[in-house]
Structure 1
Amino acid sequence: MTKSSRLPALSRTVALALLAPLAAGCGLMDTDAAAGADGPSFTVAAAGDILVHPELTDQAKKDAGAADGKAMDFGRIMAGVKPVISKADLAICHMEPVLGKPEGPFQSYPDFLVPPQIADTVKRIGYDTCSTASNHSLDHGPGGVKNTLDTLDKAGLQHTGSARSKAEAEKPLIMDIKGVKVAHLSFAGGFNGREVPEDKPWLANQTSFKKIAAAEDAARKAGADVVILSIHWGREHQPAPNALQLSLARKIAERTGINLVIGHHAHVVQPMEKVDGTWIAYGLGNQLARHEVPSGLSEEGVIGWFEFTERGGDWDVEARYVPTFIDIPADPEDPEAADDAAADDGGVRDHRLVDVAAALRDGKGLSPQQRSRYRLAFERTEGTLLNRNGGSDGLKALQEPPG
């Protein structure tokens, strides 16, 4: 089975066929110029795990500035990635936790129940769909699944990976992206020891190659030209993919027509590589999280940027990456110590998600400590992404930081 379009290629105008090559510096983010004579073209941005730990809830309350301390604004925390996410034709998030009620109560690890206000922010910064199959999908049972999906619906976000009914689970998520039918699948390896209820086997998708292949087949029969798989796998806090990831990735690449695999769960960045013509992003790290014991690696993440172009009935995919970093302020419980720590740490006083290369290129207001930390994040993320030889297949940064 090839990674090919199951429908005839869209007709193109003569003018489109005669488009000049991309101007220097435009890069893959110039999606209109990137569409070539071969066939339809579109871009995908996919990022790492979204978790909301208590410190991020506190930050959202602080940013909202409400006198009652109840309003929340996650927008300022995530604003740093909006220019990239909003530019993509299709932006895919991974919503790891269960979404609760606006007024709470909220819970953190091990049974996440987080503010639903995060969904509105995710939509506003440009995401279109979220994978919802994770090890935390069943933290609060069927009711938690329902509330999460109801909340995503209300925010205007598509979703896949968990379901409120058998009928919902059996209907593939297929989106029209610039005239191309793109399906999004989502699977998780397990649910922290919880079993999917026998009377609700459709509640969350549990990984097996057979089920993944069947889901792709169903999507193709429903008209999908392109199929993208989000998969929750691997070992937490391990930058190297494990044997299960490597073997399953090869099986998916060789024995299905899935066009792109994007991985989650490790909370640290893992490599990208092309396997039998298919890009595998083993782990995109954290998009947004604040673990109890930050490791440095857990603050680093990556946005995968993928350019799809139909050529001769097959889909060619070019891969790029955008390293991100989550600024974490000092512990606020001791104000004097926090002030000293903030000074030593370059003035970081708020949780903020940063596009590392963009922050370094802009440079405004960055302390020497921040410049050093961002450069380390970029270089370490780049080194991890390329350590399975993805560079030989064209993997590189979407935009480089200044030299």
Structure 2
Amino acid sequence: MIATGDSFIARRIPENDQRAKSIKDWISGADVRFTNLEITTHQKEGYPSPFSGGTWAMAEPSVLDDLKYYGFNLYNWATNHTMDYLQGGLLATERELDARGLIHAGAGRTLAAAAEPRYVDTVQGRVALIGATSTFYEASLAGDPTPHIKGRPGINPLRYEEVYYVTKSEMATLKQISSNTHIDANEMLNRLEGFSVEGGQDELLFSGKLFKIADRSHRVRRPLKKDIERLTASIQAARRQADYVIVSIHSHEMEGMDKNTPADFLRDAARVCIDAGAHTIFGHGPHVVRGIELYQGRPIFYSLGNFIFQNDSVSYLPSDFYQKYGLRTDANVADGYDVRSDFGKKGLGVNPYVWESIIAKLAWDGDDLESIELQPIKLGFEQARYQRGWPELSDNVEVLQRIKELSRSFGTEIVVEGKKAMVVCK
């Protein structure tokens, strides 16, 4: 299996590009070749959402031909960008994926379609892919039909419950602020009128967040039970229909402001998926690499970073984008990118960790994981924003060392040898 992170592809591969050929050749030996599709592909066919995943992600459908050129045969497309152009953009992207015979999971015309396993048959065995995302706006949720109402296109969600624990004195302060500012007046009225459930004596819904009293201040997030049940049901079905089961989870959530550290609920969800029968978890989302965990002998990649990242090359953006940055709606994308980055002084473009990543190669012998090789890639950090973003095989051991350190907290040992790294699997 080959696993890559986010493919936010907005441009076509240059003709005779040796970087692409080298990666294509390196990938081609694998039976399963996975990437995460983080862009919609259509001819402006959907209405722009009032909210986006950061950039309203849209590209010409022909970029899918370039991903196919690399050799990818499995795609997750449940991300925070799936619904950037609402249902019209989703349906058009699905049409373009299907027209090319690309196997994709995580989004669809109904919740059942978004959650179901999708299969690729190889000479070495049949492999299932199940996709989900924890990062999305509520309007992105797929919905199932009833006997009278049709379903809703959208993503397969992995939601989480969130509780903030505070001390008694901190709770008293929150209650005073709530009383003085009427920040929770609607919620209080709903409780009085029976439209919302009354909370316990030691808890408070403050500005839409649930607070409870504890000895110390902290936050706890847990996967939403019904989403975990849907995920595990898909895994258990796939386990009976395939030799291997891959779960792909797109998650930007983190601990504090540390992008390198996965959220507590994501760690819980990933382990539950392994317990249910998944062979591996391919994570992505924060645009940087995260650590690798071997749980029950099976790998959890909390983030594979970027494979292609061209969020400053999207050709067309809606008025919402320009208004967000105080520009007139007749501005152009170059104006928007200039202002968003403060003329190249801030944002993802100035973070070198965004522009170096890895490709993971997993070898299996039946259910047993034999090896994991990590191949570094670079995406052109020092290039102009309209040039960077293409992956290139690299000898950058710094990204390997960083993954090694990030994996220590999970008890995972990684050996860096020369220009590659190997995860100690046994």
Same fold (TM over 0.5): yes
CA contact (8 A) 2:293 2:410 kept: yes
CA contact (8 A) 1:325 1:377 kept: no
1:380 paired residue number: 402
In the superposition, relative to structure 1, how do residues 110 and 182 fare at CA in structure 2: closer, same or farther (>3 Å)?
same
The partner residue of 1:128 within 61, 73, 80 is 73
2:134 paired residue number: 189
Tell me: higher relative CO, structure 1 or 2? Use CA pairs within 8 A at least 6 residues apart: 1
1:204 paired residue number: 155
CA distance in 2, matches of 1:381, 1:290: 23
2:266 paired residue number: 245
Task: From the two aligned structures, give the one with the greater strand fraction.
Answer: 2
In the superposition, relative to structure 1, how do residues 401 and 186 fare at CA in structure 2: closer, same or farther (>3 Å)?
closer
In the superposition, relative to structure 1, how do residues 167 and 257 fare at CA in structure 2: closer, same or farther (>3 Å)?
closer
Secondary structure at the counterpart of residue 390 of structure 1: coil
CA distance in 2, matches of 1:229, 1:299: 25
Q: Does residue 274 of structure 1 match 2:297?
A: no
| Paired letter, 1:229 | V
| Paired letter, 1:50 | S
1:229 paired residue number: 247
CA distance in 1, matches of 2:157, 2:30: 29
In the superposition, relative to structure 1, how do residues 382 and 93 fare at CA in structure 2: closer, same or farther (>3 Å)?
same
| Paired letter, 1:354 | E
TM-score by length of 1: 0.66
Report the Cα offset of residue 239 of structure 1.
Answer: 1.0
| Paired letter, 1:216 | I
Report the Cα offset of residue 380 of structure 1.
Answer: 3.3
Q: Does residue 174 of structure 1 match 2:119?
A: yes
Q: Does residue 354 of structure 1 match 2:392?
A: yes
Report the Cα offset of residue 329 of structure 1.
Answer: 4.7
1:257 paired residue number: 277
Secondary structure at the counterpart of residue 211 of structure 1: helix
CA distance in 2, matches of 1:332, 1:282: 27
1:301 paired residue number: 357
2:163 paired residue number: none
CA distance in 2, matches of 1:305, 1:133: 23
Structure 1: tracts of 5 or more residues without a match: 1-43, 65-72, 334-348, 358-373
CA distance in 2, matches of 1:396, 1:376: 13
Residues 41-80 of structure 1 mapped to structure 2, 5 A cutoff: 44-52=1-9, 57=11, 60=12, 63=14, 78-80=20-22
1:220 paired residue number: 239
| Paired letter, 2:411 | N
In the superposition, relative to structure 1, how do residues 258 and 232 fare at CA in structure 2: closer, same or farther (>3 Å)?
same
CA distance in 2, matches of 1:85, 1:99: 24
CA contact (8 A) 1:45 1:91 kept: yes
Secondary structure at the counterpart of residue 259 of structure 2: coil
TM-score by length of 2: 0.63
CA-based RMSD: 3.3
CA contact (8 A) 1:134 1:190 kept: yes
Paired residues, number: 305
Report the Cα offset of residue 200 of structure 1.
Answer: 2.7
Report the Cα offset of residue 165 of structure 1.
Answer: 5.3
| Paired letter, 2:354 | S
Residues 86-165 of structure 1 mapped to structure 2, 5 A cutoff: 86-101=28-43, 109-164=54-109
Q: Indicate the percent of aligned positions where both proteins have the same amino acid.
A: 23
CA distance in 2, matches of 1:195, 1:152: 19
Report the Cα offset of residue 267 of structure 1.
Answer: 0.7
CA distance in 1, matches of 2:307, 2:60: 16
CA contact (8 A) 1:356 1:378 kept: no
Report the Cα offset of residue 142 of structure 1.
Answer: 1.8
CA deviations on 1:267-307 (whole Å, 9 max, x unpaired) are 10001110122210000011111455320011122112111
CA contact (8 A) 1:50 1:94 kept: yes
The farther-off stretch of 241-250 and 274-283 is 241-250
CA distance in 1, matches of 2:66, 2:79: 20
Report the Cα offset of residue 381 of structure 1.
Answer: 4.3
CA distance in 1, matches of 2:116, 2:69: 26
